[in-house]
Structure 1
Amino acid sequence: MNDNNHTEITDEWVEHVAVGGAILGGGGGGSLDEGIEFGELAVEYGSPTLRPISELDPSEVVLTVSGVGAPAATDSHVKPADYVQAVELVMNRIAERGRSVGALMTNEMGGFASVNGLLQSAVTGLPLVDAACNGRAHPTGPMGSIGLSSDETVLQAGVGGEPDTGRRHELVVEAHLSSAADTIRQIAEAAGGLVAVARNPVPAEYAESNAALSVYDQAKTLGQAVQTARDGETAAAEVASLLDGEVAITGTVDSRELETAGGFDIGTVVVDDHELTFWNEYMTFSRDGERLATFPDLITTLDTDTGEPISTAEIAEGQSVTVVLAPASSLALGAGMDDPGLFEPVEEAVGQPVVEHAFPEV
């Protein structure tokens, strides 16, 4: 393997990637503060590695790591060790069949998601590949399944909940993709709102053909731009420029409604008469009934003063925020974003048309 292709994982790298990942999270993808803490723990623990997926043997098994649940849930209890345990549960099941996991891949970008996999890499010695199911955050497991069909049998594990209580769950499920994803979402809700997940082992050849590749450079560049900007206005302009997007509005959050149900955060944010709907991530952005952006376009909110990304779980009435929009074409997206059927649940969740905007050719 060519050492020149390997990335040195440092605390500074973690912070840049987590901040940029939070921007690409589009309101979701987990807590930025927890992501930085998680990534720095990985660096402190050992030597997590990041490698191009092209370096793997095509037959090596790539395992996706994720967190599943509602970011705003107040009763969730997931420790860093739970993310490692979820990986080990799947590794053990695969080992029983005479195979082994060769690498890890994060599910998406986000404040936490972008560095998810680093601790598991440091503990297990497995590399994290420079790829993701999507180079932005998305709400459902099937969207992060890199094109696996709903009736494909997959292996998934979920771990979370307060130890020594009825909410503690450690589960391995093997079922059709749609059923496995629903089961994991159900145990996330039962565990208090969140579980650490390892899922969908696939050959590296399949992952390379269907995942979003080389996702970390974009996250790092965005994070650096925000952290070196002189103020929030400059940061927002830089983010928009880097993503070939636009600064849509700067204003005050007039209202924010959120309901946590079914393992998701669902709600609406109004900024100076502009409406943003979200299902964990921002799904739509409209003004006076006119649709201005629709998932998987990136809709992201930044603190007006600092430029720091603000998630849907954190945004609050009275805050001054800047909304930045970027087209889906500026993002690295995996095969899970190609199926209009996977967008139908979004419409049901937010009560807005989505498929006709995301797939105008259909």
Structure 2
Amino acid sequence: MGRILTEKDVEAAVRGGSVYAAGGGGWSDHGRMLGYAAVSIGRPELIDIDELDDDEWVATAAAIGAPASTTAWEMQGIDYVKAVQLLEDALGEQVSALMIGQNGKSSTLNGWLPSAILGTKVLDAVGDVRAHPTGDMGSIGMANSPEQMIQTAVGGNRAENRYIELVVRGATAKVSPILRTASDMSGGFIASCRNPLRASYVRQNAALGGISLALKLGEAIIAADAKGGHAIIDAIVKTTGGMILAEAEVTDKSVVYTKEAFDVGTLTLGSGDKAMTMHVMNEYMAVDDAGGNRLATFPDIISTLSPEGEPMSVGQLQVGMRVFLLHVPKTLIPLSSSVKDPSVYPICEKALGISIADYALG
């Protein structure tokens, strides 16, 4: 049976989701806002795919944007709800459950408020267990589909008259960039509901159990809180089954913001023959050792933790900071069809100038 999500689940979702954010941005405070609003206003319910009939509709709740704190973004909880309503209006049918495109500091909780208000269930399925730079990577195999999809976006800075409501139809690859543009025009961050698909398709193509994974990890982190940083890091390693590849200082950071709204570049940990290079495209996409040998590659979980056990995003890291580098191989997590799709990798390989698909699909 479904699990009613309660106040204690909010912090677990945020803390676990922050590790799976894989160096991505987003805001823990936005996640807490969504979660606490949901559990105080209603009874959001987390369900397994087996609780849906094959022909019931599942859509993806997402937040789209370049979450640099430099922009005047404004996104209210109600925007996530309105996005679902617009999608249902366009579809002409009710959506039974919402999945999410990825875990993250707030994205793990994207479906909770619509669940509390509209009664849509929070489906324990994700487009990708970890965070990723492009929507295609969480689109559960729809990236190159010619099928007409519906995508909606809602939100924006009200004071600057940037509030937008948008409904588009078309092949995912053609309409996704429209939502990215809308996000930019709205102030940099917008709520979205997209790609309604039958539960039978989601069962075959999503990474099932991805939200429970984040909750379980968050619960382990919270249980270790009182014992301090080392205990938290140990709990993260034990719960994920991963390992710490390095404990080192950030010795170089060369990350630039591109006109396509991506943060791209490298971070270097340590020096000399112990140095490791982390390749960044919003999130950590790969790690090489000093000899250029690949140690970790998306869709592996790659995260940086402070000595206090706090997951650090690319934006937070500065030269001179000491971090622990966590690696959880992809063999230990459920994988969706979109991370096994060769077509999602060229955009990242081009931006980073490295091979990813060889490793990701190997």
Structure-1-length-normalised TM-score: 0.92
1:292 to 291, 295, 298: 295
- Contact 1:69 / 1:264 at 8 angstroms: preserved in 2? no
- Contact 1:160 / 1:170 at 8 angstroms: preserved in 2? yes
The residue aligned with 1:265 is 263
The residue aligned with 2:11 is 15
Q: How many angstroms apart in 2 are the aligned matches of 1:52 and 1:197?
A: 22
1:1-362 alignment runs, 5 A limit: 5-28=1-24, 30-75=26-71, 76-95=73-92, 99-150=93-144, 151-163=146-158, 165=160, 167-229=162-224, 230-261=227-258, 262-272=260-270, 273-288=275-290, 289-304=292-307, 306-360=308-362
Q: How many angstroms apart in 2 are the aligned matches of 1:319 and 1:286?
A: 19
Task: Give aligned pairs, total.
Answer: 352
List structure 1 runs of 4+ shifted beyond 4 angstroms.
none
| Structure 1: gaps of 5 or more residues | none
- Contact 2:64 / 2:180 at 8 angstroms: preserved in 1? yes
Q: How many angstroms apart in 2 are the aligned matches of 1:113 and 1:72?
A: 16
Q: How many angstroms apart in 2 are the aligned matches of 1:65 and 1:112?
A: 12
C-alpha RMSD of the superposition: 1.8
Q: CA deviation at 1:29?
A: 6.4
Q: How many angstroms apart in 2 are the aligned matches of 1:271 and 1:281?
A: 16
Helix, strand or coil: the match of 2:345?
helix
Which one is further off, 282-291 or 268-277? 268-277
Q: How many angstroms apart in 1 are the aligned matches of 2:116 and 2:278?
A: 38
Q: CA deviation at 1:73?
A: 4.5
- Contact 2:124 / 2:212 at 8 angstroms: preserved in 1? no
Identity %: 35
Per-residue CA shift, 1:275-315, capped at 9, x if unaligned? 212212110112212221111111101111x2121222333
Kindly provide the amino acid, as one letter, of the partner of residue 2 in structure 2.
H
Distance verdict in 2 for CA 1:313–1:67, change over 3 Å: farther
Which one is further off, 47-56 or 237-246? 237-246
Distance verdict in 2 for CA 1:260–1:160, change over 3 Å: farther
Q: How many angstroms apart in 2 are the aligned matches of 1:219 and 1:349?
A: 29
Kindly provide the amino acid, as one letter, of the partner of residue 25 in structure 1.
A
- Contact 1:8 / 1:49 at 8 angstroms: preserved in 2? yes
Per-residue CA shift, 1:232-260, capped at 9, x if unaligned? 22322332233232101112222333333
Q: How many angstroms apart in 2 are the aligned matches of 1:24 and 1:281?
A: 10
| Structure 2: gaps of 5 or more residues | none
